[in-house]
Amino acid sequence: MDESNATCGKRLASIGLENTEANRQAYRTLLISAPGLGQYISGAILFEETLYQSTVDGKKIVDILVEQGIVPGIKVDKGLVPLAGSNDESWCQGLDGLASREAAYYEAGARFAKWRTVVSIPNGPSALAVKEAAWGLARYAAISQENGLVPIVEPEILLDGEHGIERTFEVAQKVWAETFYYMAENNVMFEGILLKPSMVTPGAECEDRATPEQVADYTLKLLHRRIPPAVPGIMFLSGGQSEVEATQNLNAMNQGPNPWHVSFSYARALQNTCLKTWAGRPENVKAAQDALLLRAKANSLAQLGKYTSDGEAAEASEGMFVKNYVY
């Protein structure tokens, strides 16, 4: 739930609401106060505004999370900007002043951090863009650990493109290899990070779709080749998959034992039906929270390999891919 104010505004606009602090506060309060959410969710990534925000009742959002047994985290990157000298690619800014910002976030109650950088397959990716993404993630991870925050390392390979699953696999091997190489160079302790990668899927515009079993097969093969067992958890991003798709793919990856905890860190794939159900109306809060709990429970079961799609609503199967998605 760490969308920037601009991206949160797009979410609110989709249900006809204005992008005001009060509306962002109302929506985020709805999410974190869903009764029993902590049974299924162990951490919540916050935007800076939310870390320091209180609910309408004057209770700190961080305190409500802690009461739910949910660890508060914080998005620390400053977003994507064009990468000079590349093939119209981007790099992630935010290293300047990161140490002092993270010290302040720790004081405010955050215990982990997130940094999202992206790689685009239709644009190459160029060796320059891959190296920049990997180096930025490694510097961020080292600085976070020095400031007492567990870094979530997020090298997102965008769904954009017509490429098949093999091409995604090939690019992801390169990106993950460089990311872990540079983390080692920066003396990052692998036992103290979480990886938040994309699943290995075909491009969103590829006509040849993949089954959950194929996605699991390619993704687990990649994890085994690239991720040291010292890394405790793999928290997959949903990246525009439909709610059901993201859950089915996660479930397929947990049909056998893995050396890491293979789980989820979803935004849209947890919140889409919840947001539409709420529609900005106070009388819909409970129904919206129930929709959120339904998805949270489904994914909680999926990371145990025990999910079944019986009784899933049709809207949960709607894709959420957005071209050139920014957070």
3-state secondary structure 4-47: CHHHHHHHHHCCCCCCCHHHHHHHHHHHHCCCCHHHCCCEEEEC
Residue 254 near residue 305 (C-beta atoms within 8 A)? yes
Residues carrying an active site annotation = 154, 196
Alpha-carbon distance of 94 to 280, in angstroms, equals: 33
Phi, psi (degrees; rounded to nearest 5) at 25: -65, -45
Alpha-carbon distance of 322 to 319, in angstroms, equals: 9
Q: Which two tokens stand for residue 77?
A: 């990157």
